[in-house]
Every structure is written in structure tokens, then in C-alpha cells.
Amino acid sequence: MSAALRNSWRPRSWAILVASLSLAASVSFVRFGLRASEPESGWSRLLSNRNSADPTRQRPKIISAKGQFLAADPTGKFLMDTITNKPVFITGDAPQQLVTELCASDVDTYLKDRQQRGFNALWVYVVDNADQSNPPRNCNGDIPFNGADFTNFNPSYWKFVDSAIANAQRRGIIVFIEPGFVGLVAASGYLTSYQNASPETMTAYGTFLGNRYKGFSNVAWALGGDADPAQAAAYKNLASLAAAIQAADPNHLITFEACRSGCSSGGNKSSLDAWTGPPAWLGINWVYNNQATVIEGCRAAWNNGNRVLPSIMGEDWYELDHSMTSSQIRQEGYWEILSGCYAGRIFGNAALFAFNSPNSGVTSPTWQSQLGSVGSIGQANMGKLFRSREHWKLAPDTNHTTLTAGYDSHTFFGSAKESLRSFVYKQPARPGTMDSVAARTSDGQTIIAYVPNGTATTVTVDMSKITDPVSLARCWWFNPRDGSTILIGSFATNSTRNFSPPDKSDWVLVIDSERASLAAPGSRDL
């Protein structure tokens, strides 16, 4: 905000100030559960947003190829496996240097572990010039390009990439292929090469990649990578790359990572923020936020993107980075999914992303020790929970018509202050550091709420939001740390009900239609 704009907002009288504070207080009362007279209006609007097309946007192509681990459903609203014909929830990891840093035996060790834990997606760079030990050479000493970047493809190098992707395919794991991380500055990726390459070079590279991997059943494409929309030349060439990939490989979805911080036009940009239209090649909206802003980022993705594309949280703050605690790693994941990034999340660990490469800056703890990290276990448990329920139908309870009280972790005056700031600057109210969030399936079968601070909070749920032929709801506590459950009981759906977690740790409240007869949360995929 400019100094002129900041200085221009000054109350001209105490009357204006009092009126503003009164308005803030009234808004804060609503946030604490004294709802307005139209409790369904926000819910109806969200459903309308999700199910109607935005006439200002170009409709992207829907990739529904047969025999694929990942495709779009016929409406383009969620992700599905066209082999099983079941919706897909992305339970991902970010081993970015898997094929550039590791030898074959270690690749196998890593993939075997992730398969056993239930991870179904990985974000992998197929070339790298920054973070691996000896860029751009792989473990075998091979380079990807026998010439300028993106040209003269070295057969030995790409044969090794093929073997790793085939290994993941045998294990049922999707690989989001990154053709070359862009980076905000030249030293952190291929920014200079993207800026200077000719459109013909990018088209040839995209054609090479598309033709090479179109026959795999486990591939998706993740272009960009800290890509600032202000870099017009790079974006032009990235568009050429994407178009060429899709022309050669019509079987696989493409997504795009813009930038979270350092962008000249502001950070926390999703794919749909970076590209207007969206372009026909864009099939998944990749959301990119830090821990404090994931709720607003996923809410924005829901409101602005889900009329067109399903959203995933492609990158957030990693375990072992930014002084993140174990509970914060779990918290950001549940905040994301229940706030609108319903298609899934790619988790990251600072030791695992580059496998202790000296150039990554994270040489300890060992990557092998982090395969079973608290964050890895929490991510696996979260995947099991959402796969056991209708995750593809989840709509965030943005206006608190389902979770009607106990969601706001601000103090009373803190909530009033935040509401005033939101009103004055016409910005979304920022969540508290321990806010509870909830989502409800569109058919009313399930409500899921995440309570990050345990017994410090009692949440109130409008039980009438559950649709059940005998007006009963079965309620559970799901432990996000170990995947265990506690059956609370079955209750009538004709009133509100208070729920207090079993202890001071974080917990997930799961409420289902009694007649749906669903298994315990996380115990079995739907």
C-alpha cells in the first residue's frame, strides 16, 4: 500500500470511528456464530459457483483418456482414474531431484516406501541445473542435453528418466513431470534459458517430451516453477512448450506453478492467477501459498477456479523449513483441503526434495530417516481419511453455516480488529493461527472439520446439514497423527451440537449420514 493511500484513510470524526467499530463488532458477532437471517445464501452461492461456467473464461480441454491413473472427469470438476473409474485424491510428495540426484537402487528404495505409505503422486524434475550435486549430470554422469538447454537430447540420460517413471507406474504412482524449473532468478533454475530460447526450440522440446511419455499411464505435467508472470518472454515460451506437449501427448493433464513470493506483481499466485482464459492446455489449478495464507489461497481457488478446474495445493511450506512444527505441517494440509483445494495436496520435506544434495543446503538429517517423518505419516493419514469419504464433493464452509461456532481463534477484540481491517481495505478476513475449518459434501452425506488446538476449542455444528433418511448422523474423531478413530455416537440431525476434542492435540471431526453406513474414517477407500 502506498503512503498516500495509507494516509488518506483517517476518520474525520469520532462518529465515523465509532460507526466503524460498531460495524466490526457486528461482523465479529457473526463470526462467533450469531448468524444472519439467510444461513443458506453462502452455501447456495458456492454450489452455483462450482456448477456453472464463467462466460468470461475459455473452457479448457478435458483430458479423459482411457487407461490413465489421472484424468479429468467428464465435467472437468474433479480428478479421476480412468482404469478404476474412481475419483482421485492427490496424496503427493515432492522428491524433485529423484532422477537427477539418486542412482537406480535409491530410486527404488524411495518409491517402494512411498507406495507402502499410500502416496499416489510425486512432483519430479526431469532436468535440473541448480540443486542437485553435479548439475546438470545425473548419478551416472550423463547430461540431459548434448548442446544448448532443451536441445540435442542425450539418449542415456533420458533412458534413466524413463526407468524411474516406469518404476513409479508399476507401483501405481503418478509422476508430475517438471520439464525444467524456471526460478525467480537465473541462479535458481532455467529462467535465462526460457527467456532466450526460440519458440521453435520450445516446440521441439515439448514435442520430444510429449511423444516420449504419452504411452505412460502415470504421467501429468507440471510446468513453470516460481515463474513470475512479469517475465513475458519466459511465459511466451512456456506457452509454446505446453501447447507442444499437449499436441504430442493428448492423454495427460497439464498444470502450472507460478510464484509464491518475490513476484513483481505480488505472490501467492495459482495457475489461474498467472494465466487468463485459462489456456486450453491447463487442466489442473496449482495453488501455491505459505502456511499463513493457505486458507485464503484455497478459498480463492474455490470461488474463482472451480467453475473451470479442480484445484490442488501444489506447494506450501515444507517440513524442516521455515521452523515449521509437526502440528503446523498437518494444519496447513487440512486447512487447504477443507478450504477449497479439494483435489489434493503435494507435501514436501526439505531433506527429501533434493536427497541431501550439498547444493540444496539441507545435508542433514538424512533423507532416508525422513521417509518416516512425522510430516510424511501425517500426509499419508490425511490421504487415507479423504479417500474414505466423498472428497470430490467437498465444498468449504466459508460462511460458517455448518460449523457455526468455535471456528475463530482470534480473541474477541482481535476478531473485531481483523473484521475492521477487512472492511476498510476490502480484503478477506485473515484466519487466526488456530482457526478450525470445515467442509460439507454437496449431497449432505458428510461433514469434515479440523480442530487444530484440541480441548482449547469446542466447535458447534448444525447437524441439519447432514442428509439422512432417518434423521441421524454418526460422528467420529479421527486422529491425524496416527490414523486411529474414536466413535462418538449417533445423534439427531434436527439441531446444533457441540463437540470438544478428546485432548489438547489436533483432531478431525467426521460426521456422516447414519444410513450411508460408511466404515471408520481412514480405514477403507470408498
Ordered domains of the chain (ranges, CATH): 90-363 (3.20.20.80), 395-516 (2.60.40)
Phi, psi of 124 (to 5 degrees): -130, 130
Task: Say if CB 508 and CB 448 are below 8 A apart.
Answer: yes
234 CA to centre of own chain: 24
Q: Which of 341, 476, 334, 458 is nearest to 407 (CA)?
A: 458
Of 352, 345, 272, 286, which Cα lies nearest the Cα of 110? Answer: 352
pLDDT tens digits, residue range 235-267? 999 999 999 999 999 999 999 999 988 788 777
SS3 content of the chain, % helix, strand, coil (to 5): 35, 20, 45
- CA dist 174 and 124 (Å) reads 10
3 pLDDT above the threshold of 50: no
107-111, 210-214, 305-309: lowest mean pLDDT where? 305-309
Residue 497's Cβ-count burial label (10 Å; 0-12, 13-18, 19+) is middle
Amino acid at site 80: M
φ/ψ bin of 326: left (φ > 0), alpha (ψ from -120 to 50), beta (otherwise): alpha
Report the alpha-carbon distance of residue 261 to residue 226 in Å, rounded.
8
Residue 13: what pLDDT?
35
Residues 6+ apart with CB under 8 A from 30: 36, 400
Structure confidence by residue, pLDDT tens digits, 133-149: 999 999 999 999 999 99
Residue 8 has pLDDT above 80, yes or no: no
Tell me what pLDDT residue 277 has: 82
Residues in the chain: 526
Residue with cell string 509454446:
240
SS (H, E, C) 395-462: EECCCCCCEEECCCCCCHHHHHHHHHHHHHHCCCCCCCCCCCEEEEECCCCEEEEEECCHHHCCEEEE
Give the count of alpha carbons within 13 A of 315, CB side only: 26
Q: Name the residue type at position 506.
A: D
Give the pLDDT of residue 429: 65
Tally of CA atoms within 13 A in the half-sphere of 427 that contains its CB: 13
Query: What pLDDT score does 29 carry?
Result: 34
Contact between 353 and 95 (Cβ < 8 Å)? yes
Lowest mean pLDDT among 42-51, 371-380, 455-464, 496-505: 42-51
